Copies of this chain bind each other. A is one copy, B any other.
């Protein structure tokens, strides 16, 4: 019926005549020996925050989960379909990654939707509304703050969401255990789309600062 998007086909041609030429052997060996990334990144679906781009990562380097607002639900072994939890389990238990990075970013549409008290639900199912409900108590506190600007509230909640995801990661017994035994490290990062700045979370205080680069 519909033809495959030509922009993607053109991009694929660029890949094949460019990057792939240099990395042909790497792809082949990654196919034969399997992937063994040591870092799992949970990032936003946003088109401006691809971890492979921001971290200049090649094939085989990053195991990546992407959903709206880079969120991790709490551990709920209820027999339902859990995209994020399943991918986490795969990364931690099968691939045995050593680092998990939750990467948020500025101008996040999911966070904006969460803070927007005026819009009606998007649909009957309203999956976004439910999903952003993972941040509910924090969202309400930030929404009610009328002394910060909208942009300040947005940035605050973006960073709170990262800390919230990290807390929820620790509700997974395996992750908690691996972190405590020193076999897994959890990190937070926030990417400023407008300036290209990467802000890294201090694991102790939860504050974000720019690393010296």
Task: Tell me the A95-139 residues at the B interface (CB within 8 Å).
Answer: 95, 99, 101, 106-107, 109-110, 113, 122-128, 130-134, 137-138
| Contact call A86/B68, Cβ cutoff below 8 A | yes
In contact, B204 and A1 (Cβ under 8 angstroms): yes
CB pair A127–B85 under 8 Å, yes or no, is yes
**Residues of chain A from 23 to 61 with CB closer than 8 A to chain B in the complex:** 24, 27-28, 30-32, 34-35, 37-39, 45-48, 50, 52-61
Q: Which residues of B contact A58 (CB under 8 A)?
A: 53
Interface size on A, residues (CB 8 A): 126
Are B5 and A187 within 8 A (Cβ)? yes
Decide if A130 touches B81 in the complex (CB within 8 Å). yes
Instruction: Knowing A101-B8, A145-B145, say if A106 contacts B31 (CB, 8 Å).
Output: yes
